[in-house]
Chain A
Amino acid sequence: MTAYIIRRFLHLIPTFLGATFLAFLVIQLAPGDFITRLELDPSYDRAQIENFRRLFGLDQPFTVQYAKWLSGFLKGYLGLSLSYQTDVWQVLKPRILNSMVLVISSIVFVYVVSIPIGIYSALRQYSWGDRFWTTFAFFGLAVPNFFFALLMLYFALWLKDTFGHEIFPIGGMRSLYVDGVDFFEAPKWRQWLDVMWHAVLPVIVAGTAGTAGLMRVMRTQMLETKMQDYVRTARAKGLSERVVIYKHILRNAVIPIIASIGFLLPELFGGAGFVEVVMAWPGLTPLILDAIFSIDVYIIMGSISISVVLLMIGNLLSDLLLAWVDPRIRYS
């Protein structure tokens, strides 16, 4: 097992280097750089602009810029943001936290909703309930995130007009005032409660596609496990149906589902991204979109590299979980 973990870890290094280098290469495709915008501004003279270029290392070939960025990254320094005029980490940290709130709540939502429904559908195969959830799964997989988010906003506005006050907030992540007190001066638990209240609709939107997909996988898993020989043996032994279902079928069926958490991550990142844009959630994606148009290289690189690291950790955890559960994987 130790050898497997070490091998998997070593595997991450070239992937990380390749992915960040690819991202850096893509940024070079843009016309000009951040400073090109300043050249059009008459209040800056040539010398100042050259100075800026040197300061941000933009006068060097891009391989040098990448090497410099990488060496900074290894030291834990993500560079200077050109448009925010400050350390990139200062800009990124709150955004990443906000995104993580959304992504982690979505994961919880996906699992809590999809596993019971999957079990139900498998146990009552071809019943009306199963049919309903099958249709729901198809709808959930087909509805575009951004469209669903817009519909949810419409729904929230409708609720507000109907009941006279906001049942669900209309976009955003926090209220200006909590109980008449400024948000940042309110007690911590009130702040969290407020954020969670704002997160309800975004989490539903971001999690729907994942829920729909996982629900189907869970159903298939249950149905396949039901056919196994050891289940028949358990029944033949005279175990009660309850024990057979929850101890023999469910436990085996749910293992790959739990382990697939890492593969769900990229999907949720994407899903949450659109929700952030539409519902004005101050996460990572709106930041990247802004940075793209101002070619703020280090903000983009910082966001990409950190999401790559998060994704790799998620995948690694998944793989380790799977290997821990299934010894056949370890030795291949």
Chain B
Amino acid sequence: MSDPNDNTNLLEGLGERSQSYWQKAWMRFKRHPFARWASLVLIILYTLALFADFVGPYPEAKSFRKLQFVPPTKVYFKTEDGRWTRPYVCKVERTRNPRTFKLEFKENCEEKYTVYFVVHGHPYKFLGLVPMDLHLMGGPWLVEEKAYLFLWGTDDFGRDLFSRIWFGGRISLTIGILATIVALIIGITMGGISGYYAGTRVHIVRGLFRPPQKRATEAGEAGAREQNGFFSGGALAEGWREAARERRAPAFLAGLAVQYAFWGAAAAVLYGTMQGFLSITSGVERYVAMLVFGGLLAVMLWIFLFGRLAVDVDDLIMRTTEILAAIPTLFLLIILSGMLAQYDMPSSTRFMLVLTILAFVGWGGLARNIRGFVLQLREMEYAQAARALGAGDARILFRHIIPGTLGYLIVVASLQIPGYILAESGLSFLGLGIQEPSSSWGLLLSKAQQIGISAIKERPWLFIPGFFIFVSILTYNYLGDALRDALDPRAEH
């Protein structure tokens, strides 16, 4: 774009400010009806989760053994005679119903406990570093446990749900972002390699000797006799000659070592499997197995001696993603986390584990889409120009091609995050994700189900975490929708 001041004689475009792609996208984003609201709600949620220690009156693990499933504490704004006053609460006392023997909680309003704002309370370390004891709500009575402030009731351990929701928000809201980042890293790498090297074949193993079938086909060819030796006619020698010509013999030898090691290991595993299998099998199955295993080993040996095996990396990666997609996602998620949930581990390790599992299950779809983009973009003039200037593969891929997919990546990320929030809450809900004493929204919601179907109606406050999952997914979906509209280059208007 030329500067409009230089060509004042050209009237067209005068007075119009030229805008970059990102400026236009930002304009379109702001025009989306819900984008602003969604962003605002998300910012509020993240802020409250960040300041969970301050917002919640109680520490995360503080439990009152005798106060299980206490209904939300009523906050009064009026005295008995109807005058407005500072908000206060009454003490909750546990009683047993003399007729049904059920535990009941009754309010005892003889003494009123005023709720103060921004007040000293239980000590904590803000972000694990700064020692503080300021809380949004509370009072001296709260620390001395004369009365309780359970705004949204308590759970099965007598822990304050209101406080735990904000602590749980830390995990539920960050795990989606982190898992998306990890999945994007894997997806971009795999999809990039897959798309960039599509059509290039990589050798798995190179045969040692000249294949017998070559003799027949090349019998009439004139130049065939040059490399006609028993050894020099093999795929190995052919590769060596090529490597020597291109002066990359050391890399070739290193690759060769890996290839043969892999081939040897594969054969050893196959042989071991055959032995074990035959030792526990009898009858027809045994003979069929002998045929199958023997055939496989023979083919492997033949390829090692006379043939060659080269595969397309693109094919390999795409088949892997197909395998991942072939198992229903929920089942893959639950067997993976179910098997690993049986180990004891600290909560930070478990957080990392859940994150890794989510990323592992989800990278396939990303890789497929990114591959599609890379396949298109690698043929663009600027990619070819970079190659002509002598840039390496990695540089072309990550500096020239991947940035071209940025708009798509942003949209995908904003739609992947709610998916992961949902998956994490689902896993935790089933007891396979985040575990006690940590909290996450899914885990908190699972309390509503654990106590049995008939009790659901008596403890509706346990549903509150579900609304938080719902709202965060809803707002992320709106945000993703707005971003898609904004970043779509076809949406020129």
Contact = CB atoms under 8 A, between A and B. Distances in A.
A280 interface: yes
Instruction: List 4 A-B pairs, minimum CB-CB distance, nearest first.
Output: A64-B276, A292-B338, A270-B330, A147-B466
B239 to A, nearest CB: 26
Interface string A13-31: 0111011001100110111
Interface in B352-385: none
A254 B321 CA distance: 29
Contact of B453 (A19, A171, A300): A171
11 contacts: A18-B323, A30-B340, A64-B273, A144-B469, A146-B429, A150-B466, A273-B328, A288-B331, A292-B334, A308-B326, A308-B327
Given A15-B319, A138-B481, A269-B330, 13 more contacts: A67-B289, A71-B285, A142-B470, A147-B470, A154-B457, A171-B453, A270-B328, A273-B334, A285-B334, A289-B338, A295-B339, A303-B331, A311-B327
In this complex, the interface size class of chain A, counting residues with CB under 8 Å from chain B, is: 35 or more
A16 B211 CA distance: 33
Contact of A292 (B335, B343, B456): B335
A40 to B, nearest CB: 14
Nearest to A67: B277
A305 to B, nearest CB: 9
A63 B276 CA distance: 9
B264 to A, nearest CB: 16
Contacts of B477: 138, 141-142
Interface string B255-284: 000000000000001001100110011000
Given A19-B323, A68-B280, A266-B328, A144 B466 contact: yes
A278 interface: yes
A157 B343 contact: no
Contacts of A151: 463, 466
B210 to A, nearest CB: 30
A161 interface: yes
A217 B478 CA distance: 17
Interface in A251-284: 266, 269-270, 273-274, 277-278, 280
Contacts of A19: 323, 326-327
A30 B339 contact: yes
Contacts of A158: 457
Given A19-B323, A273-B330, A147 B281 contact: no
B42 interface: no
B336 interface: yes
Contacts of B463: 147, 150-151, 154
B418 interface: yes
B276 A60 contact: yes
B212 interface: no
Contacts of A22: 323-324, 327
B449 interface: yes
A285 B280 contact: no
Nearest to A75: B285
B391 interface: no
A304 B327 contact: yes
Nearest to B476: A142
B473 interface: yes
Nearest to A64: B276
